[in-house]
Amino acid sequence: MKYGSANYWEQKHKIGKLHKKARNRRKDFLHKLSRKVSDSFDAVVVKDINLQHMSQSLNFGKAVYDNGYGMLREMLAYKLNEQGKILVKVDKFFPSSKRCSVCHEVNHDLKLSDREWTCKSCGTQHDRDRNSCKNLLDEGKDILNRWASGDSSLILAPSGVLSEKKLHPQAHSNVRQDGE
């Protein structure tokens, strides 16, 4: 069809409607998921990763940027906050994937493609994501304990998000650019 023709605009309109439908479906799913998680737990730990930076450096393009993780974190934050619960944000430089959750040795050779790996120090076999989650949970609990005992390097925002006070210089501006 010709650019600018009646047919063109009609197709463009149809495609726009489909995109909107997909967006709404995803949003609906994220609402249900965040509701379920926030109702089930007293605190939730997430990593403060920068999705925009990640999508650029890894060449995942828009797929990662659009995957709704930022939206999910936002929904989790306010749904937890409504119930007086806490969302713990772990610093994006915390080596959650590279650290062995058993002995805490950091595996500097771990590549993104390594889905499973064995710790050279203690011999534990890891599933990459499971290991990463264990580390994040441990770190999150540690942050909560530090906060509970009055550690002044942590701050609980009015939004119910608990994180390190001293964020890296660029962290704030990058997060804003993510459209969060």
Closest contact distance (angstroms) between CB of 45 and Zn ion is 21
Q: Is 7 in the site for Zn ion (CB under 5 A)?
A: no
Subset of residues 86 to 115 that bind Zn ion, contact rule: CB under 5 A: 100, 102-103, 105
Residue 45, token pair as written in the block = 């730990």
Closest contact distance (angstroms) between CB of 79 and Zn ion is 35
**Per-residue x/- track, 31-70, Zn ion (CB under 5 A):** ----------------------------------------
Complex with Zn ion: residue 82 or 114, whichever CB lies closer: 114
Bridging pattern class, strands 43-47 and 86-90? parallel
Binding residue for Zn ion, selected from 11, 121, 153, 177, defined by CB under 5 A: 121
Closest contact distance (angstroms) between CB of 132 and Zn ion is 14
Closest contact distance (angstroms) between CB of 117 and Zn ion is 10
Complex with Zn ion: residue 68 or 95, whichever CB lies closer: 95
Closest contact distance (angstroms) between CB of 47 and Zn ion is 20
User: Which contiguous run of DSSP H or E holds residue 26?
Assistant: helix 6-40
CA distance 146 to 140: 10
> Which are the contacts of 171, defined by CB distance < 8 A and separation ≥ 6?
48, 50, 92
Task: Compute CA distances 65 → 52, 62, 89, 177, whole Å.
Answer: 6, 5, 19, 12
The total of other beta-carbon atoms located within 10 Å of residue 9's CB is 12
Subset of residues 124 to 143 that bind Zn ion, contact rule: CB under 5 A: 124
**32-40, 49-57, 123-131, 137-145 -> range binding Zn ion (CB under 5 A):** 123-131
Task: Compute CA distances 37 → 32, 34, 76, 84, 158, whole Å.
Answer: 9, 5, 8, 14, 20
CA distance 9 to 65: 28
Backbone angles phi, psi at 67, to 5 degrees: -75, 0
Closest contact distance (angstroms) between CB of 48 and Zn ion is 25
What is the binding site for Zn ion (CB under 5 A)?
100, 102-103, 105, 119, 121-122, 124
